[in-house]
Structure 1
Amino acid sequence: MTKTLLISHLLVVADAAAFAMDTRPELLPQTASAEQPFQPPPPGIPQRRLSGGTR
């Protein structure tokens, strides 16, 4: 059951991040362009950091 919770949590985080990215470029295009270089790395890395702290 914990795997299901982690998967759903990651999906929610990914969805929230995608939504935030959709709204940020309209409000602050400068921050969006500054964040783009950090996004190309696999999204699994930041998610692992977040989930790693909940062990």
Structure 2
Amino acid sequence: MKWARNPDQERAAEELGVSVRSYKRYEKAQNIAKLIELATFALSTKMTKE
């Protein structure tokens, strides 16, 4: 059985410069859940680093 990939997780991982595996770990970690929430918001509003 082939595991399905989540395109949103792949895109977020790419934009953050981390592997999909790392991103999935970050999503599960409660101590950095807020960071993931902020990163997701930034990606959804197409904010850029300055």
TM-score normalised to the size of structure 1? 0.30
Higher relative contact order (CA 8 A, sep 6+): 1
TM-score normalised to the size of structure 2? 0.31
Structure whose residues are more often helix by fraction: 1
